A and B are shown apart, each in its own frame.
Chain A
Amino acid sequence: MGKSTLRALLVVGGHELRSRLRDGTAPLIALVAPILLATLFGLALGGDDDPPLKATIGVVDLDGGEFPASVQREALNTDELKGVLTFRQYPDEAAARSAVDGGESGAALVFPAGFSEGVGAGRGGQVSVLESPESPLAGVVARSMVDRISALVQARTLAVRASLEAGVPADRVQLFVEENGAAGPALSLVGDPVSGGKVDLAVHYGAGMAVMFAFFVVGTTARSLLTERQNGTLDRMRAAPIPLWTALVGKSAVGFGLALLSMCATWLSSVLIFGASWGDPLGVFPLLLAHVFAATAIVMLVASRAKTDAQADGYTLGVAFVFAFLGGSIVPAYNLPEWLRGVSLITPNGWVSAGLSELAGTGAGPSAVLVPIAVVTGIGLVAGTVALLGFRKGRFA
Chain B
Amino acid sequence: MTPALVCERLVKRYGDKTVVDRVGFHIDEGEAYGLLGPNGAGKTTTISMLVGLLRPDEGTVRVGGIDVGEDPVAAKRLIGYVPQEIALYPELTARENLRYFGRLYGLPRRELTSRIGEVLDLVGLTDRGDDKVGTYSGGMKRRTNIAVALLHRPRLLILDEPTVGVDPQSRVAILDRVEALVGEGMSLLYTSHYMEEVERVCTRVGIIDRGRVVADGTKRELVAELGGTDRVELTLDGDVTAAAEKLRAVEGVSESVVTGSSSIRLLVAGGRHLLPALLAAIGDAGAVTGVEVVEPDLEAAFLHLTGSTLRD
Contacts and interface: CB of A to CB of B under 8 A. Distances in A.
B81 A239 contact: yes
Interface in A194-240: 231-233, 235-240
B142 to A, nearest CB: 13
Nearest to A247: B104
A222 to B, nearest CB: 18
B101 interface: yes
Nearest to B80: A239
B73 to A, nearest CB: 5
Given A236-B148, A239-B76, A239-B81, A231 B105 contact: no
Contacts of A397: 53-54
Given A7-B106, A240-B105, A394-B55, A15 B87 contact: no
A243 interface: yes
A8 B104 contact: yes
Contacts of A15: 100
Contacts of B73: 241-243
A12 interface: yes
Interface in A1-42: 4, 7-8, 11-12, 15, 19, 22-23
B54 A239 contact: no
Given A241-B73, A242-B73, A236 B83 contact: yes
Contacts of A242: 73, 104
Contacts of B79: 239
Contacts of A19: 89, 91
B87 A11 contact: no
Given A4-B106, A11-B104, A235-B53, A240 B88 contact: no
B85 A232 contact: yes
A231 B89 contact: yes
Contact of A241 (B53, B87, B88, B105): B105
B258 to A, nearest CB: 34
A251 to B, nearest CB: 13
B74 interface: yes
Contacts of A232: 83, 85-87
Interface string B89-111: 11100000000110111100000
A22 B104 contact: no
A239 B52 contact: yes
Chain B residues touching A, majority SS: loop
A241 B86 contact: no
B51 interface: yes
A261 B101 CA distance: 28
Contacts of A243: 73
Q: Which of A4, A22, A238, A397 has the most CB of B within 10 A?
A: A238
Nearest to B106: A4
A235 B104 contact: no
B77 interface: yes
Contacts of B90: 231
Nearest to B101: A236
A240 B101 contact: yes
Contacts of B91: 19, 22-23
B53 A238 contact: yes
Contacts of B54: 394, 397
A356 B88 CA distance: 45
B147 to A, nearest CB: 12
Given A4-B106, A231-B89, A232-B83, A241 B77 contact: yes
Q: Which of B51, B90, B104 has its CB near the most chain A CB atoms (within 10 A)?
A: B104
B100 A231 contact: no
Interface string B104-139: 111000000000000000000000000000000000
B106 A241 contact: yes
Given A7-B106, A11-B100, A11-B104, A240 B76 contact: yes
A397 B53 CA distance: 8
Given A232-B83, A240-B76, A11 B103 contact: yes
Interface in B191-208: none
Nearest to A2: B73
Contacts of A244: 72
B51 to A, nearest CB: 5
Given A11-B103, A394-B55, A397-B54, A241 B76 contact: yes
B65 to A, nearest CB: 16
Contact of B87 (A4, A236, A394): A236
Contacts of B76: 239-241
Contacts of B86: 232
A19 to B, nearest CB: 8
B74 A239 contact: no
A328 to B, nearest CB: 39
A219 B258 CA distance: 52
B96 to A, nearest CB: 10
A109 to B, nearest CB: 67
A242 B103 CA distance: 11
Contact of A235 (B83, B89, B105, B106): B83
Contact of B51 (A4, A22, A239): A239
A115 to B, nearest CB: 77
Interface string B11-39: 00000000000000000000000000000
Interface string B51-81: 1111100000000000000001110110101
A356 to B, nearest CB: 39
Given A236-B87, A241-B76, 16 more contacts: A8-B104, A8-B106, A11-B104, A233-B87, A235-B83, A236-B81, A239-B52, A239-B83, A240-B104, A241-B73, A241-B74, A241-B105, A242-B73, A242-B104, A394-B55, A397-B53
21 contacts: A7-B106, A11-B103, A11-B104, A19-B89, A22-B91, A23-B91, A231-B89, A232-B87, A233-B88, A236-B87, A236-B148, A237-B104, A239-B52, A239-B83, A240-B101, A240-B105, A241-B74, A241-B76, A241-B106, A242-B73, A244-B72
Interface of B: 51-55, 72-74, 76-77, 79, 81, 83, 85-91, 100-101, 103-106, 148
